[in-house]
Each structure stands twice: as C-alpha cells, then as structure tokens.
Amino acid sequence: MKKIIKNIALLTSIFTTTGCSIYSAINAPEPVNYKELYLGESRINVLSMLGQPIIISQNKNNSTSDYFEFIDGYDNLYKFRALPYLAGDVFTCGLAEIVFFPLEKFKLEGSRNIAVVNYDADSKVNEINVTRKNNGEVLYSIKAMQPTQIKLK
C-alpha cells in the first residue's frame, strides 16, 4: 500500500509541474498588425490596434505623441507547437519541460516592440516608428512630408 501511495504522489507531482510550455504556447500573444497603420488615421483607430499607450505627451503646437510597448506574437496556427510539447511531456514523464519551457519562454514568446505615434492637431497620424525594444531595430517607419520638404518645379 505504501508503494502505491508513493507512486501516486510521484505521478501527481510530475503532472502538476509539467505543462508550463503547453500553457505558454496556447496563451501566446497574437501578432499586432502595426503595418496596417497609415498616415492620416485617427488616434482612436491606433488605440484600438495597439492598446493603451504607456506615455502620452502633449507638444507645443497641440500635437500629441503616444508611446506603446507590446509583444508581437505569432498567428494562431503557430500555437499547434503545443502538440509536440504534450507528446514530449507524456513520453518523458514531464522531464522534457526542462528544455521546452525555456525555449518557449525566451525564444518563442514573440518580440517585444516599441511604437511611437505622433499626431497632428486634429488627432490624425503624421508619424509612426516601430522598433524592437532590445536592439532598436527599425521594423516600420513612416513620416508625413513637411511643407518645407516639398520641392516645387
């Protein structure tokens, strides 16, 4: 009887400590379609796509800038990576989590990005800059031409 209780306790501890990579894969963030933002778009549409900004700044000429941080994840088909995690957990009695969870947490979670969006006095987008948070790599950048930049013939 003691052996059965020990085995049940061992199996219970194995199954309660596994599945972190499966949970992370299933609940991973979806991609953010920041490339669908365009010049002249309203601030409300930007907020609906990127969420609440972390910092809002008001400039001298009644223009506004929003600073966003977000995780750009993968599409829903990529969530099927949870199936190999499940198989690995079953066949190794949870030991595969030693490899799968760090892989999921540090490599497959998605990229952390920063977006800075500037608006004119009418709350219309006139500049968008999206970069990776860790290395500053520019992912998307678009800026309205200023009147002084236009050359007349």
pLDDT mean over 90-102? 83
**Taking 60 as the threshold, does the pLDDT of residue 93 lie above it?**
yes
Rounded distance between C-alpha atoms, residue 119 and residue 145, angstroms: 13
pLDDT mean over 95-109? 82
Helix H or strand E encompassing 118: strand 111-119
Give the pLDDT of residue 90: 84
19: left (phi over 0), alpha (psi -120 to 50) or beta: left
Task: Please write the tens of the pLDDT for every residue from 13-57.
Answer: 555 555 688 888 888 888 898 999 999 999 999 999 999 999 888
CB half-sphere exposure, 85, CA atoms < 13 A: 23
Enter the pTM of the model: 0.70
